[in-house]
Amino acid sequence: MDTNQSASATVAEGASVMRIHSDAEISEEAKNYHRLIYPKGEVVLKLENLTKKFGERTSVNGVSLEIKSGEVFGFLGPNGAGKTTTIRMIAGLAGITAGEAYVCGHSVKTEFKAAVRNIGGIIENPEMYKYMTGWDNLRYYADLYGGISDEQIMDVVRLVKMEKRIREKVRRYSLGMRQRVGIAQSLLHNPRLLILDEPTNGLDPAGIHEMRDFLKMLAHDFGIAVFISSHILTEMQLMCDRVAIVSLGKLIAVKSIEEWTRAEGSTVKMTLLVSKPAEAAAVLNQKMGVDAQTNGKLIIFNVAQDQIGQISQVLAGKRIAILSMVQGEKSLEETFLELTSQAGTEIN
Ligand SMILES: Nc1ncnc2c1ncn2[C@@H]1O[C@H](COP(=O)(O)OP(=O)(O)OP(=O)(O)O)[C@@H](O)[C@H]1O
Ligand SMILES: [Mg+2]
């Protein structure tokens, strides 16, 4: 369905697809904005065997995936994995060698205009006129799209928290401020898909935190499909609903953050500090069949998730005191390193 007109036009034409908020489902913070709300769970971006070759080199190798409205989707991979090239193909900035990219059902190859209307994003550096103010830049882009009011511009300015500095010339902005205005600009035409290539590059910790929160708000409250690339693992873990790992142009796996952090079959690494470690190891082996390693008072073992509850009972039965108990989770970082080292991380 074609949902991407200017906000006012769209609301007038078809409130069935989206509505201005007044909705109890959305967060308190989101209620401060007058953005359109898109339905969640619809496939907004679909890649089918997307491939890019530069001469002999295959930089993107048969990538297939689907991204839905309402989710923050992370594209995680080391330098040279093909993240930017994939994004450039989706946005029509690089030709597609083979395969397809569909945005809201429109092929980027054969219906470019219909596809790209639904995309907002910053692919390389935000394009802005440095001698103009942030506001004038936004006004200028709003006029190119047509039908966007000052109020709507102010809404995106508040969203990226730039209201205090928006009347200053862009050349006086810091990198982070330019990034924010760039995102504001890419949201002006109410895209259903927001694509950001390494959005937290160059931001300070506070800036990263804010960016995280507001990208989540865009997805979870307003139903935008947010597609971000990064090579920073912890950041993806904090920001994304699902993460795809790419390496050497290939998609290795796509999983939800929970699936990434909770290993399959769910064995968990337990680290305990106990009063009688040797006895503890023996009784845990006998009663639960675990293979525990000890070091001083420390005792470490892997156990099935559903057995965790038994540990304290088994030890209490032998009057062994638990001084501390830490449940380890497999971090995305570990998984990422495991997966990409299998594929090889060397730059080719
Ligand atoms: N215009 C081009 N001509 C030739 N090779 C290219 C071109 N653009 C990208 N490549 C190659 O494609 C591969 C993937 O590059 P890409 O920029 O997509 O990686 P990336 O995942 O975005 O990496 P980074 O994390 O460093 O930004 C690299 O080997 C790169 O050298
Ligand atoms: Mg890149």
Find the Cα–Cα–Cα–Cα dihedral 202, 208, 210, 211, rounded to 10°.
Answer: 70
Beta strands in the chain (DSSP E): 19-20, 36-37, 43-54, 57-68, 72-76, 98-103, 106-107, 119-122, 193-197, 225-230, 242-247, 250-256, 267-274, 293-295, 298-304, 322-328
Instruction: List all residues 6 or more positions away from 316 whose beta carbon is below 8 Å from its beta carbon.
Output: none
- Our mutation pick for probing the ligand 1 site, out of 54, 86, 87, counting the most ligand atoms within 8 A of Cβ, is 54
Instruction: List all residues 6 or more positions away from 184 whose beta carbon is below 8 Å from its beta carbon.
Output: 134, 138, 153, 156, 157, 159, 160, 162
Q: Whose CA is nearest to atom 14 of ligand 1?
A: 82
Instruction: Provide the whole-model pTM.
Output: 0.77
Please tell me if the CB atom of residue 53 comes closer than 6 angstroms to any atom of ligand 1: no
Please tell me if the CB atom of residue 95 comes closer than 6 angstroms to any atom of ligand 1: no
* Domains contained in the chain, CATH given: 7-261 (3.40.50.300), 264-328 (3.30.70.930)
Using alpha carbons, select from 321, 339, 317, 334 the residue that is nearest to residue 269: 334
- Residue 19: count other Cβ atoms within 10 Å of its Cβ: 14
What does the alpha-carbon distance between residue 189 and residue 247 come to, in Å, rounded to a whole number? 33
Q: Whose CA is nearest to atom 28 of ligand 1?
A: 80
- Our mutation pick for probing the ligand 1 site, out of 85, 122, 246, 336, counting the most ligand atoms within 8 A of Cβ, is 85
How far does residue 240's CA lie from ligand 2's centre (Å)?
18
Q: Whose CA is nearest to atom 24 of ligand 1?
A: 79
Ligand with minimal distance to 59 CA: 1
Q: What is the pLDDT tens value at each position of the chain, 348 positions in all?
A: 333 333 333 333 333 334 455 555 677 787 777 778 899 999 999 999 999 999 999 999 999 999 999 999 999 988 899 999 999 999 999 999 999 999 999 999 999 999 999 999 887 666 789 999 999 999 999 998 888 999 999 999 998 889 999 999 999 998 888 888 999 999 999 999 999 998 888 788 888 888 888 899 999 999 999 999 988 877 888 899 999 999 899 998 898 877 776 655 567 788 899 999 999 999 999 999 888 888 888 898 888 878 888 999 999 999 999 999 888 765 566 667 666 665 554 444
User: Looking at ligand 1, which atom is closest to the CA of residue 83?
Assistant: 21
The pLDDT, as a whole number, for residue 150 is 93
